[in-house]
C-alpha cells in the first residue's frame, strides 16, 4: 500500500497527456496566490479541528493528536480506508475505547459527506436523475449496517464463549465486544462529535471552493458538496484510495460536467490540490508523531 502513489502518478500522467501538457502548463499561469493561501489556512483549520475532536473524544491525552494523524495517513493509502484502524497496531495504544472511537468517527465522517452530498444534489436540481436510491444504498452499506453490526455486543460475546481459550477468534471477538460496549457508552458524545464533523467537512468544502477560485472558477457550495460526496464514495471502493488519485478524478468529472471547469484547468488544479493538502498535512503529521513518540518514551 505504501507504493499506491505510483498508481496515482500513472493516472495523472495519462489524464494530463490526454488533455495536452501544453494546455495544462498554460492553465498554471492563471493561478492566483491569494485564494490559494486562503485555502491553505482553511485546510489547516479543518485538519486541526478534527485532531482536537480526537483529543476531546479520547480524553486529556497528549497522544490523541498523533493517533489522529496516523489514522488519517493509514486511511489515505489503504483500500476502503481500512487503514484508519492503524493506531490499533501500536500495542501500547490498543484498546477497545480507541477502536470504538475510530469506527464511530469514520461513520460520522461518511454520514456528514453523504448528507451534504444530498443537500448539494437537491440544490443543483440533480434529484431527477434518480441518484437518491444509490445514495440510500450507500448510506445503508457504509453507515447504517456497520453501525448496527459493531454494536451487537452479545453476538461477539457469544462467539467468544464458543471459541477455545487463546485462539485468535476468541481474542478478536472479545476485543470487538469491548468496542461495542465503548461505542454504546459514547452515545452521549455522538451529537457534539457529529456537529464538529459537519463543521470540519464544510471547511473542507470551502477550501475546495477557494482552490477552484484560485484558477478563476468559483463554484457554488452545492457543487463542492456533490463533488466531495463523489470523492468520498470512490475512496470506499476497493483499490481506489486517495493515493491512486481516482477519487479526485471522480470529483473532477462532476466539476467539468456540472461546473463547466475546463479539463486543462482541472488537470492543473489536481496537483495544486494535492500539494496544498500535503503542505498542510505532513508538518502536522510530523508534529503529531513526535508527540506520540514523546508520550511513549
pLDDT digits (tens, 9 = 90+) for 241-287: 888 888 999 999 999 999 999 999 999 999 999 999 999 999 999 98
Give pLDDT tens digits for 25-55: 999 999 999 999 999 999 999 999 999 999 9
Q: What is the pLDDT of residue 62?
A: 60
- 76 pLDDT higher than 90: no
CB 71 within 8 A of CB 86: yes
Cell matching residue 228: 466531495
Q: What is the pLDDT of residue 80?
A: 85
Alpha helices in the chain (DSSP H): 5-19, 21-28, 33-57, 63-76, 96-124, 132-139, 145-150, 153-161, 168-185, 190-213, 221-235, 246-257, 263-296
pTM of the model: 0.93
Amino acid at each position: 500500500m505504501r507504493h499506491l502513489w505510483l498508481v496515482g502518478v500513472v493516472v495523472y500522467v495519462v489524464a494530463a497527456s490526454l488533455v495536452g501538457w501544453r494546455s495544462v502548463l498554460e492553465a498554471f499561469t492563471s493561478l492566483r496566490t491569494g485564494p490559494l493561501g486562503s485555502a491553505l489556512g482553511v485546510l489547516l483549520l479543518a485538519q486541526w479541528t478534527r485532531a482536537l475532536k480526537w483529543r476531546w473524544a479520547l480524553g486529556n491525552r497528549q497522544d490523541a493528536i498523533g493517533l489522529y494523524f496516523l489514522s488519517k495517513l493509514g486511511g489515505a493509502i489503504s483500500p476502503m480506508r481500512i487503514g484508519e484502524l492503524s493506531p490499533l497496531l501500536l500495542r501500547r495504544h490498543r484498546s477497545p475505547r480507541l477502536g470504538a472511537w475510530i469506527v464511530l468517527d469514520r461513520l460520522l465522517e461518511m454520514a456528514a459527506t453523504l448528507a451534504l452530498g444530498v443537500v448539494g444534489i437537491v440544490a443543483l436540481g440533480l434529484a431527477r436523475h434518480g441518484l437518491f436510491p444509490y445514495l440510500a444504498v450507500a448510506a445503508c452499506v457504509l453507515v447504517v449496517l456497520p453501525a448496527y453490526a459493531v454494536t451487537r455486543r452479545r453476538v461477539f460475546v457469544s462467539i467468544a464463549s464458543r471459541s477455545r481459550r487463546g485462539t485468535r477468534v476468541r481474542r478478536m471477538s472479545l476485543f470487538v465486544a469491548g468496542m461495542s460496549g465503548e461505542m454504546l457508552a459514547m452515545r452521549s458524545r455522538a451529537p457534539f462529535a457529529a456537529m464538529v464533523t459537519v463543521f470540519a467537512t464544510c471547511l473542507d468544502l470551502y477550501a475546495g471552493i477557494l482552490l477552484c477560485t484560485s484558477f478563476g472558477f468559483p463554484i457554488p457550495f452545492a457543487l463542492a458538496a456533490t463533488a466531495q460526496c463523489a470523492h468520498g464514495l470512490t475512496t470506499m471502493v476497493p483499490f481506489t484510495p486517495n493515493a491512486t488519485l481516482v477519487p479526485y478524478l471522480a470529483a473532477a468529472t462532476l466539476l467539468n460536467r456540472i461546473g463547466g471547469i475546463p479539463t486543462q484547468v482541472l488537470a492543473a488544479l489536481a496537483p495544486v490540490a494535492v500539494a496544498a493538502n500535503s503542505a498542510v498535512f505532513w508538518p502536522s503529521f510530523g508534529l503529531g508523531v513526535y508527540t506520540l513518540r514523546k508520550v511513549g518514551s
